[in-house]
Structure 1
Amino acid sequence: MNFSHVVIVMGVAGTGKSIIGALLAEKVGVPYAEGDDLHPAANVAKMASGVPLSDEDRWPWLDLVGEWARGRAGSGGVVTCSALRRVYRDRLREAAPGVAFVHLAGERALIEGRMRERGGHFMPVALLDSQFALLEGLGEDEAGVTVGVEGSPGEIVERAVGALREC
């Protein structure tokens, strides 16, 4: 893969999508967008209160993420988006054909520990189980790679870049 494609960094809350996405974009020299910033205020309020989003809540947000990705087609970019279900990724691919995914994956205990250590994020640990319940890993026919979240952010980014180059 060359880095003129758009990469969507996906995974459950707490996997480090924001930091890995920003570092990945910096490493390969493309623009970065924080997908959480594209959520409507009502979605953020709902999650902050401990209520999982419904598909109806997610569709407009996924459309905004897809619109950003479509706008970077051919020149590259990295955007974060949980993209937990195949149907969500299909919607993103429909908006921006050619995107590739980096699925950040790890053990629940590790991810929960990281969520407890971070501050200032609207997503409570209480929603982690609902995230894992929705998660559908990348299918063999989906462009992308799965990268473990063990190690430092720099190590994770290096593994992601290496895996993407082979994809």
Structure 2
Amino acid sequence: MNHPITALVIMGVAGCGKTCVSEALCQLSGATAIEGDSFHPAANIEKMSAGIPLNDEDRAGWLDSLCDELRRIDALGQRPVLTCSALKHIYRERLRSALPGLGFVFLELTPEVAAERVSHRPGHFMPATLIESQFATLESPKGEPLTLALNASIHSVDELAVQAHLWWLEHGLKRAS
């Protein structure tokens, strides 16, 4: 490993618990949460709301905005924790290029559990009908450097956050001064 992990991306398909785990992890670690969904341009939100999956072109500007925000939070001396689906290897590499030492926590779950969770999520633009396309796009990060895979189907949010926090501590999390 060239760099200690100084920032994290909580990644996975819709419904895996990225936001909940990020919030719990930030409470444990004193890190700063970045909600990736809030950086989607209106066109992406409209497309997903209509049940149309995003493509690489749709995600390009969004990923650039996330890279900028990771660098901005890091430059403030804070430890960022970004929620982002990061479904493809090329997306993860784009995010890694923004910040040396960026680690990934992959929240795995089954398509059935994801669909069930998303169908009961109030007020979100991502319909359960897009779950299948997310799994079709997903390139598992297992085996990539600085990546921890956790089963989000069987662990509670708190358990996932604690596991991610301990892993981060082991791989370079610096305590706030």
TM over 0.5: yes
Determine if contact 2:9/2:105 at 8 Å carries over to the other structure.
Answer: yes
Amino acid at match of 2:59: R
Determine if contact 1:3/1:76 at 8 Å carries over to the other structure.
Answer: no
Q: Secondary structure at the match of 1:72?
A: helix
Partner of 2:157: 153
Runs of 4+ in 1 over 4 A off after TM superposition: 1-4
Q: Secondary structure at the match of 2:86?
A: coil
| Structure-to-structure mapping, 1:78-117, within 5 angstroms | 78-117=81-120
Q: Secondary structure at the match of 2:91?
A: helix
Partner of 1:30: 31
Q: Root-mean-square deviation (CA), in Å?
A: 2.0
Alignment CA distance shift 1:94-1:4 (3 Å): closer
| Structure-to-structure mapping, 1:1-167, within 5 angstroms | 5-73=6-74, 75-149=78-152, 150-167=154-171
Amino acid at match of 2:130: L
The TM-score with structure 2 as length reference comes to 0.87
Q: Secondary structure at the match of 1:52?
A: coil
Alignment CA distance shift 1:155-1:145 (3 Å): same
Q: Which moved more, 1:26-35 or 1:106-115?
A: 106-115
Q: Which moved more, 1:3-12 or 1:97-106?
A: 3-12
CA distance in 2, matches of 1:75, 1:5: 9
Identity of aligned residues (%): 40
Amino acid at match of 2:147: G
The alignment of Structure 1 onto Structure 2 pairs a total of residues equal to 167
Q: Which ranges in structure 1 are unaligned for 5 or more consecutive residues? A: none
Q: Which ranges in structure 2 are unaligned for 5 or more consecutive residues? A: 172-177
Determine if contact 1:11/1:81 at 8 Å carries over to the other structure.
Answer: yes
Alpha-carbon distance, 1:83 to partner: 0.4
The TM-score with structure 1 as length reference comes to 0.92
Q: Secondary structure at the match of 2:167?
A: helix
Partner of 2:174: none
CA distance in 2, matches of 1:106, 1:45: 26
Write out per-residue CA displacement over residues 5-62 of structure 1, whole angstroms, 9 at most, x where no aligned residue. 1101110011011111111112100111100000001101100100001111101000
